[in-house]
């Protein structure tokens, strides 16, 4: 954003950030959050701590300590963000929230070394291959022009979960253990529902679709689900019954595909609903 755009946004941004004052353990330093957020929104070519601090006239060390050492109530921040989203999404035209789309996805970041919480060699979507890095699972909401991440959590690999000493050294709470990414996503959906957020649609990729229990959990939480599936995926309504495979020869090959009752058996490589 340009400087003028940031200035125009200032009243709304300040009001938004004020929601989270009580989530900071040491309130006198809360203003540094605004410094950091404005730096991230700016046109700085590098958005690390040093250029952000220098742009705002804040000592670099001060901003580093704020981000590294000052305690925050993460659960409170997450819940207040959900309340803000609920306020923005509630409209007279859609009181049930069926026009809200929930999006589940994971993201990744390359990290070197072995000290960053959750780091190990694993598949990183940002690279499209296995490398050293971390993975987080996210829940986002979208409705019209409104788009917001409302929840995220670090994916903790089993190698970390099985080493409590390593977890404590990295500052990972004792109660945090390895869970599949699909389970983390379902917990995020439950938290959103607990905060009053309703999603008419829920979208996720084939990584979630490969976990049948997770897919069923998603469909029980929202009205409709949409998933990216593998190619050669049979698509039919969930209420359709399945009859025995029909056997016939086609181009010299035996076809044993199952077809649901009342379905044309259409195949789709795009999505299933």
85-121 pLDDT, tens digit per residue, is 988 887 767 766 678 999 999 999 999 999 999 999 9
- Asked if residue 153 has pLDDT above 80, the reply is yes
Q: Where do we find the tokens 């905060």? A: 195
Q: How many CB atoms lie within 10 A of CB 5?
A: 12
210: nearest Cα among 193, 227, 192: 227
pLDDT digit string (tens) for 244-265? Answer: 555 554 555 544 444 444 444 4
pLDDT of 47 reads 93
pLDDT of 271 reads 37
DSSP line for 92-153: TTBTT-TT-EEEEEEEEEE--SS-STT-EEEEETTTTEEEEEEEEEEEEEEETTEEEEEEEE
pLDDT of 264 reads 44
pLDDT of 136 reads 96
pLDDT of 266 reads 40
CATH hierarchy code of domain 75-228: 3.30.420
- Using the CB atoms, write b or e for 123-134: b if 16+ within 10 Å: ebeeeeeeeebb
Average pLDDT over residues 151-156: 95
Alpha helices in 24-59 (DSSP H): 31-41, 49-56
Specify whether the backbone of 198 is left (phi greater than 0), alpha (psi in -120 to 50) or beta.
Answer: beta
pLDDT of 78 reads 93
pLDDT of 94 reads 77
Higher pLDDT, 131 or 69: 131
3-state secondary structure of 55: helix
67: nearest Cα among 75, 76, 58: 58
Token readout for 119 is 């780091």
pLDDT of 53 reads 96
Token readout for 188 is 């995020």
Token readout for 215 is 């897919």
pLDDT digit string (tens) for 181-238? Answer: 999 999 999 999 998 888 888 888 877 666 644 545 554 445 445 555 555 555 455 5
Predicted structure pTM score: 0.74
| C-alpha span between 197 and 82 (Å, rounded) | 7
Where are the domains positioned within the chain? 1-72, 75-228, 231-273
pLDDT of 263 reads 44
Quick check: 215 and 272 in contact, CB under 8 A?
no
pLDDT digit string (tens) for 44-76? Answer: 999 999 999 999 999 999 999 999 888 889 999
Average pLDDT over residues 70-84: 91
The proportion of the chain whose per-residue pLDDT surpasses 70, expressed as a percent, equals 74
| C-alpha span between 150 and 80 (Å, rounded) | 9
pLDDT of 56 reads 94
pLDDT of 22 reads 87
The span from the first CA to the last CA of the chain, in angstroms, equals: 38
Work out the angle between the directed axes of helices 181-194 and 74-89 (0-180°, nearest 10).
60
């Amino acid at each position: 954003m340009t400087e003028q755009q940031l200035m125009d946004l200032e009243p709304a941004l300040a009001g938004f950030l004020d929601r989270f004052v009580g989530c900071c353990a040491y309130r006198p330093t809360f203003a540094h959050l605004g410094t950091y957020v404005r730096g991230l929104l700016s046109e700085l070519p590098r958005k690390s701590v040093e250029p952000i601090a220098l742009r705002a006239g804040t000592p670099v060390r001060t901003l580093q300590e704020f981000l590294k050492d000052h305690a925050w109530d993460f659960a409170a921040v997450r819940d207040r963000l959900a309340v803000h989203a609920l306020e923005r999404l509630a409209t007279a035209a859609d009181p049930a929230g069926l026009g809200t789309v929930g999006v589940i996805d994971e993201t990744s970041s390359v990290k070197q070394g072995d000290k960053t919480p959750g780091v190990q060699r694993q598949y990183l979507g940002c690279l499209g291959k296995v490398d050293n890095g971390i993975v987080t699972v996210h829940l986002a909401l979208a409705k019209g022009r409104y788009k917001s991440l409302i929840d995220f959590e670090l994916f903790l690999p089993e190698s970390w979960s099985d080493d409590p000493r390593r977890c404590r050294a990295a500052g990972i709470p004792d109660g945090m253990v390895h869970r599949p990414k699909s389970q983390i996503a379902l917990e995020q959906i439950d938290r959103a529902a607990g905060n009053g957020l309703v999603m008419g649609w829920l979208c996720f990729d084939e990584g979630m679709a490969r976990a049948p229990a997770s897919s069923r959990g998603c469909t029980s939480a929202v009205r409709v689900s949409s998933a990216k599936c593998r190619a050669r995926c049979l698509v039919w309504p969930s209420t359709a019954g399945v009859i025995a495979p029909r056997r016939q020869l086609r181009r010299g090959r035996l076809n044993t595909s199952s077809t649901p009752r009342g379905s044309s058996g259409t195949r789709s490589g795009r999505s299933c609903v």
